[in-house]
Structures are given as C-alpha cells and as structure tokens.
Amino acid sequence: MSVTLDLSRAQKAAAPPAPVNLTGLTRAQLQAALVEAGVVAPDKARMRSNQVWRWMHVYGVTDFDRMTDVAKDVRAAMADRFVLNRPQIVERQESRDGTTKWLVRYAPGIEAETVFIPDVARSGALCVSSQVGCTLNCTFCHTGTQALVRNLTAAEIAAQVQVARDDLGEWPTSPDNRRLTNIVFMGMGEPLYNLDNVADALDIVSDNEGMSISRRRTTVSTSGVVPQLKALGERTGAMLAISLHATNDALRDELVPLNRKYPIAELMAGIRQYPGLSNAKRVTFEYVMLKGINDSPAEARALVRLLAGIPAKINLIPFNPWPGSPYECSDWGTIERFAAIVNKAGYASPIRTPRGRDILAACGQLKSESEKLRASARRQLEGGQVPEQAPE
Ligand code: SAH
Ligand code: SF4
C-alpha cells in the first residue's frame, strides 16, 4: 500500500529559514558557509573569505557591492544567499557624562542593551550583554528581575560591537585614535551560562585582521560559575572579573544566590586555577557598596584577607539604584573609609565612578522590556503575526 503525505499544510506553516548573516560568523564558519553555498570553490575559499572578512570587519560594510575586489558574480551570488544585516536600534540615549546606551532589537521580543562608556582605561569601554534577561537573581541587580528570555548568539553579541562602531564612526578599523578599545561583559546576563557564544563572539571581534580588540582589553564578569572558569580562560584568554560583593557565605548566599551552589571557598579555589593569572593579568573583584549591608570596615579587612595571594584588583561599585530596588548606596564617607582600608593593603584607586546613571545605563541597571513569551506567541511574532496572548 502506498501512502501519500499531504505536506501542503506543514509547508505553509513553516517560515523559510532566515538567510545567514555573514557578519556574525567566525572565520572558519565564514569559509565553510561560502563553500557550502557553492559561492566559492574550495581551493579559493581561504582567499575569498579573507577578502570578505576584511570588508566586514575592517571597513564595516553592510553591502556586498562595496566589496570591490571581489568578482561581481561572486558578490551577486553572496547577495542571493546571505545578508550583512545589523540588528535594529530601537532606542539610543546619551547621558550627561557622554555614556551612550543602545537598545538593540534582534527579533520581535528579543532586545538587549549595550552601553559605551568613554574615557575609561586608555580610551572607551563597551559594556555588552550576553543574554536577554538572566536566570540568576542577585537581589541588587535590575537585570535579575527579568526572567531569562534566551541566550544571545555569537552573531548577536558581535553585532553589539558593530552597531557601536557604526554609531561612533569607527570604520575602517584603526589601531590608533579609536574610542572603543575595551570590551566588558557586564551588561545583561551571565556570560558563563553562554560560554560557547561568548567565545565565538570574542574570536570575531578580537581578530587582528578585523576589529582587532585585544583579548587583554576584554573582561568577562561572572557571578561565579566555578565549573566554567577554566574553560573561559582557555577558550578566550579574556581578563576575569568576579562579582564577589560579600566575604562570608551567609551574606553572599543572600546577595548572589548562586553562592549556595558554589560557595566562597570553592569560588576562590576556582579563581586560583584561572589560566595565565599573574601580576600582569589580575582578577578584578567587584564589590557593590550597599548601605548597612556589606560596607563596614570589618568587611573591608575580611575582603583583603580573602584575596591574599591572588593577583587581584578591587573595584568598589557604588550601588546604582533602579525603580523598586531594595537597597541604598553606601554613604560616600563609608565608601571612602572602606576604600582606604583596601588601598592600604596595596589595591590602588578601587572606587568605580558610576557612569550613565541618569539614563539607567550604569552597572546593574540594565533591563529590557523583553518578557518571556510563550513559544507559540514568539513563533507568531516571528512570522509577523500579532500574538494571541499577552506575554506571560
Ligand atoms: N552577570 C555577570 C555580568 C553582568 S553584571 C555578573 O554578575 O558578574 C555586571 C556587574 O554589575 C556585576 O559585578 C554586578 O554584580 C554589578 N551590579 C549588578 N547590579 C548592580 C547595581 N544595582 N549597582 C551596581 N552594580 C551592580
Ligand atoms: Fe545576573 Fe549578573 Fe545581574 Fe546577578 S548581577 S542577576 S548574574 S546579570
């Protein structure tokens, strides 16, 4: 007996897959994609992909026709099969202190924030997001009040650097005179819960024949996902920052609930194993100053004791309030007393000046309106339809 399947309904329901955006691929993926699509012959793949790579990541082009040293028929074939899109910028805000925040929309309901902070380190740092929302619920963090919507892909993470450079007018890439020199993963989300994509994104943005943002100028901040620390160091060579915020387990359990899974002793042991740790490659310990919670001189001394023997920097972060936040920032005098103790122990300029507070762009203030949609509603939105139900 023969059976004929009626595929007409299934075909109607499934939207065609979106064309691949070449700007978000690693070098190896780019080469493979061009060969697989039949755009270039395998023996020309390396040369061609190097050309395309340069146009995308040195010149920032988003139009195949500007790739003037690539044969016309190859450009046309690429334009048929691929795109060079940037995500949409839904909102752009500039703070009084020059900090700029972009709300980037990747797809309907998938939005994350990126912040450029001028004049830190030698030049400027871009604070990127690794997830939309976060699964962790640190009690002082605005992002923590937003459920995880999803991980960002490597392309979506790299795109944050690309849109910032579009806006700053920093194409073609130049080693001197650029403002965006550093990257910090201190935006939305826990980067070590999305390590594969974070690592691929760093491969894209750090490439010497591309955006060329040094791994030594890239910092990944984690709330302490201990089992991933070693892999982070091995795969990315990035600088490590640890969101410590408390020196004893009882308090850290409360502030950073992940501590219940990986308590302080385990965390410190994991940090000591971080690949390449040295005085030239120190770990940054972030410590948010919460009034009456973790800001006493005794805690400053405990902090110094805890870090003994680890090549470390300390970053005291004045708490940045957000609507409905349950804490207050420590008084300035208290922060200075705390800083003086860690200073005396040899940690220079430990207080981080809050930047972009007026536009909710400072540490821990980021949150997008993206809510976790039911999968069915998201599929409808991605198909361009109005969802049947409101977000959960
Ligand atoms: N999830 C990662 C990275 C993003 S948070 C992490 O937790 O490390 C970036 C930094 O901002 C962390 O050190 C975090 O603890 C800090 N932070 C969060 N909320 C804050 C707030 N309201 N004020 C000041 N710093 C905050
Ligand atoms: Fe997530 Fe980091 Fe915020 Fe904690 S501080 S909720 S880990 S983004």
Distance CA 55, CA 151 (A): 28
Confidence (pLDDT) at 365: 67
Confidence (pLDDT) at 11: 47
Q: What is the mean pLDDT of residues 137-154?
A: 91
Confidence (pLDDT) at 76: 96
Q: What is the mean pLDDT of residues 255-264?
A: 98
Per the annotation, the verdict on 363 as an active-site residue is yes
Q: Fill in the DSSP letter of residue 205.
A: H
* Banded pLDDT at 276 (limits 50, 70, 90): very high
The answer on pLDDT for 195 being more than 80 is yes
Residues having CB closer than 6 A to ligand 1 are 138, 140-141, 186, 190, 221-223, 243, 286, 288, 317, 319-320, 363-364
Among 197-206, 214-223, 336-345, 372-381, the minimum mean pLDDT is found in: 372-381
- Element of type H or E holding 10: helix 8-13
Architecture of the domain delimited by 88-382: Alpha-Beta Barrel (3.20)
Q: What is the mean pLDDT of residues 78-88?
A: 96
The answer on pLDDT for 379 being more than 50 is no
Q: Does ligand 2 come within 6 angstroms of the Cβ of 191?
A: no
Task: Decide: 130 and 197 in contact? Cβ < 8 Å.
Answer: yes
* Banded pLDDT at 388 (limits 50, 70, 90): very low
Confidence (pLDDT) at 21: 96
Dump pLDDT digits (tens) for 230-258: 999 999 999 999 999 999 999 999 999 99
Domains 20-83 and 88-382 share a fold: no
Confidence (pLDDT) at 1: 32
Distance CA 75, CA 228 (A): 41
The answer on pLDDT for 7 being more than 90 is no
Per the annotation, the verdict on 156 as an active-site residue is no
What integer best gives the mean pLDDT of the chain? Answer: 88
> Of 126, 186, 284, which is best to mutate to test ligand 1, by the most ligand atoms within 8 angstroms of its C-beta?
186
Q: Does ligand 2 come within 6 angstroms of the Cβ of 156?
A: no
Confidence (pLDDT) at 364: 64
* Domain layout of the chain by residue ranges: 20-83, 88-382
Confidence (pLDDT) at 371: 58
Confidence (pLDDT) at 119: 77
The answer on pLDDT for 83 being more than 80 is yes
Fold of 20-83: DNA polymerase; domain 1 (1.10.150)
* Banded pLDDT at 20 (limits 50, 70, 90): very high
Q: What is the mean pLDDT of residues 31-56?
A: 96
Among 209-213, 293-297, 340-344, 354-358, the minimum mean pLDDT is found in: 354-358
Q: Does ligand 2 come within 6 angstroms of the Cβ of 241?
A: no
| DSSP-assigned letters across all residues of 343-376 | HHTT--S-BPPP-SGGGT-STT----S-----HH
Confidence (pLDDT) at 13: 56
The answer on pLDDT for 16 being more than 90 is no
The answer on pLDDT for 128 being more than 90 is yes
* Banded pLDDT at 373 (limits 50, 70, 90): very low
Dump pLDDT digits (tens) for 331-360: 999 999 999 999 999 998 788 877 777 777
Q: What is the mean pLDDT of residues 211-230?
A: 97
Sorted by sequence, the CB contacts under 8 Å of residue 118 that are 6+ apart come out as: 98, 99, 124, 179
The answer on pLDDT for 374 being more than 60 is no
- Of 273, 284, 204, 175, nearest to 24 by C-alpha is 204
The answer on pLDDT for 293 being more than 60 is yes
Q: What is the mean pLDDT of residues 147-175?
A: 94
Classified as helix, coil or strand, 262 is coil
Distance CA 330, CA 289 (A): 6
- Print the SS3 string covering 31-67: HHHHHHCCCCCHHHHHHHHHHHHHHHHCCCCCCHHHC
The answer on pLDDT for 107 being more than 70 is yes
User: Quick one: which ligand is closest to 186's CA?
Assistant: 1
Q: What is the mean pLDDT of residues 72-80?
A: 95
Q: Which residue has the higher pLDDT, 392 or 297?
A: 297
Among 20-34, 97-111, 225-239, the minimum mean pLDDT is found in: 97-111
> Of 313, 363, 365, 368, which is best to mutate to test ligand 1, by the most ligand atoms within 8 angstroms of its C-beta?
363
The answer on pLDDT for 182 being more than 50 is yes
